Amino acid sequence: MNLLHSPPQHLRSVRRIGEVVGVLAKHRLAEWLSQTEFDSQKSHLTGGEGELPAKQSHATRIRLAVTELGTTYIKFGQMLSTRPDLVGQEVADELAKLQDGVPPDEPEVALATIATELGRPANEIFAEFNSIPIGSASIGQVHGARLPDGREVVVKVQHPGIESRIRGDLEILERLAGLAEKSAELKRYQPVAVVQEFHRSLLRELDFSREERNLQQFAANFATDPTVHFPQVISELCTSRVLTMELIAGASPHDAERLDQIGIAREELARRAVTIWMDMVFRDGFFHADPHPGNLIVLPGGAIGIVDCGMVGRIDESSRETIEDLLVAIANHDGAHLAHLIMDLCSAPPDFDEAAFSSDVADYVAFYYGSQPIDRFQLGGALNEMVRIISRYQLILPSSVSSLVKVFAMLEGTARLLGPTVNILDLIKSYQPKILRRRLSLRTQWQKWRRALGEWRHLGEVLPRGLDEVFKRIQSGTFDIHLEHRRLEPSVNRLVMGLVTSALFLGSAVLWGNRVPPVVGGYPVVGVLGCALSVALGLRLLTKIWRE
């Protein structure tokens, strides 16, 4: 990757790389860099200043380093906290503690951004604008305001310069990921793929117009459901750096007194929250990826308001149906089927032990979903244990599925806060008939047939041209077949070496047996040397095979 955009930019990049490597070294996380060709920054890997007490765990040191590196790395750590299948449950739990709050900008800074983005100063746009922010996070801060027509709104304003800083850090992260890919210890974590996924998601989060479209899509998906409400966006007052939307006022899930004043059973509220997310995932394939209590507001009348829709997930039809089958297998205590579904969903290493994995999954189902009393069942713990098993066998979950596992674990905590006696597994089981009805509905079947017909039509269009090209090449004598044997080169080389060694030994033995001259002391020189050489080559080949 070329960081030389301009001399000043290059100097900032080099300085920032030094800061990053220095922080990693300070927290004893940079040993792997000494195995790479990262010569320009190796001087940062030595020195004992700022070393941490040996009592701190590896996971804690990762969290402290990420916190010290700032916004981009905190966001990266938060993303990794949803991937225990990659980093392990201990590191994921530690990274889940990361907070991305930052001090707010001065009022005039936010007002200047609004004027630049919306083309008019805030006092001409809003009847009232509170210059003191309600809250501030890593990417932006939120202000309260009132429109000229009396509607109460919130205005989300991006911090100035945050995009350029994040893009610079992303370039450094990608460079470090490329180096990590060369490390045998870190390669299994797929650093390049993980950073590329993070790169895409963070740049989407920087664009507030995406959150605007997310809100509009959620509102359209739940337009006929009176139990859920998403804030209405004021599109004419939205840009990529400013987002204006309706203020939703109500009770926080933490406020037990206000929830009791609303007059709706807490268990009913919990059931509504879980059903809303089940509809998002299994009906729409588009879900809010951060269902913690701070993003839910209970409105007068009992409807649930959902805010902060910048983090969303999407899941394709195939993965959605596989997850539906997973839930059915869990409900039926079918460990064998559950193991096969997980193997279909994940990418497995070459030495994967299918029998051992199936046995562990069967034990897991028997423990969590068989004999355990339902009132003591914890879905979050069960999901985390399943991810531990997946990680132990070095299976890699699709990113959308790993995000979904985190969502359900978080959703359980929120549901128990609203209704402590509610069991989320019972609610998931009760949703199964709806899943089956949707899968077997005429609309779903027609969509599948329409996609299949489209694929067959495309094949029918390209197949004649492809066959015509093949026949022309055959007639002209230019047709050839290229075979690619992945990871077979060492085996082929050993096979060739074995054949050469065997031929050399046999030929030399014939020369020796027939005493072909020149003969010295009764021994044919060529035959003896040939046999000795073939024995040496054979021993060398056997030694290599034994070591590997």
pLDDT of 478 strictly over 60? yes
pLDDT one-digit tens code per residue, 145-155: 999 999 999 99
pLDDT of 2 strictly over 60? no
pLDDT of 31 strictly over 70? no
Where is mean pLDDT largest: 26-40, 211-225, 400-414? 211-225
Where is mean pLDDT largest: 243-247, 301-305, 353-357, 436-440? 243-247
Most distant pair of Cα atoms in the chain: their distance: 115
> How far is it, in rounded angstroms, from Cα 222 to Cα 230?
9
pLDDT one-digit tens code per residue, 78-109: 777 777 767 777 887 888 777 666 788 899 99
In the numeric block, which tokens belong to residue 303?
């409807």
Number of Cβ within 10 Å of residue 366's Cβ equals 13
44 pLDDT band, cuts 50/70/90, is: very low
Higher pLDDT, 128 or 433: 128
> How far is it, in rounded angstroms, from Cα 408 to Cα 427?
12
pLDDT one-digit tens code per residue, 423-444: 777 777 777 777 777 777 787 7
pLDDT of 118 strictly over 90? yes
Handedness of CA 316, 322, 327, 330 (dihedral sign): negative
Residues 6+ apart with CB under 8 A from 197: 79, 399
Bridge partner residues of 146 (DSSP):
128, 152
> How far is it, in rounded angstroms, from Cα 405 to Cα 383?
7
105 as an active site residue: the answer is no
Higher pLDDT, 295 or 446: 295
Mean pLDDT of 447-454: 77
Residues 6+ apart with CB under 8 A from 463: none
Where is mean pLDDT largest: 227-231, 267-271, 515-519? 227-231
Mean pLDDT of 180-199: 76
Q: What percent of the chain has pLDDT over 90?
A: 20
12 pLDDT band, cuts 50/70/90, is: low
Where is mean pLDDT largest: 43-57, 88-102, 111-125, 337-351? 111-125
477 pLDDT band, cuts 50/70/90, is: confident
The one catalytic residue among 85, 105, 169, 290: 290
400 pLDDT band, cuts 50/70/90, is: confident
pLDDT of 49 strictly over 60? no
pLDDT at 246: 95
pLDDT one-digit tens code per residue, 200-211: 888 888 899 999
Do 322 and 400 touch, CB atoms closer than 8 A?
no
Where is mean pLDDT largest: 7-21, 245-259, 406-420, 461-475? 245-259
Where is mean pLDDT largest: 16-30, 117-131, 421-435? 117-131
Lowest mean pLDDT among 237-251, 312-326, 469-483: 469-483
Higher pLDDT, 446 or 133: 133
Environment class of 350 (CB within 10 Å of its CB; exposed 0-12, middle 13-18, buried 19+): exposed
Do 305 and 250 touch, CB atoms closer than 8 A?
yes
pLDDT at 114: 95
Higher pLDDT, 133 or 23: 133
pLDDT at 30: 61
Mean pLDDT of 371-387: 69
Average pLDDT, the chain: 80
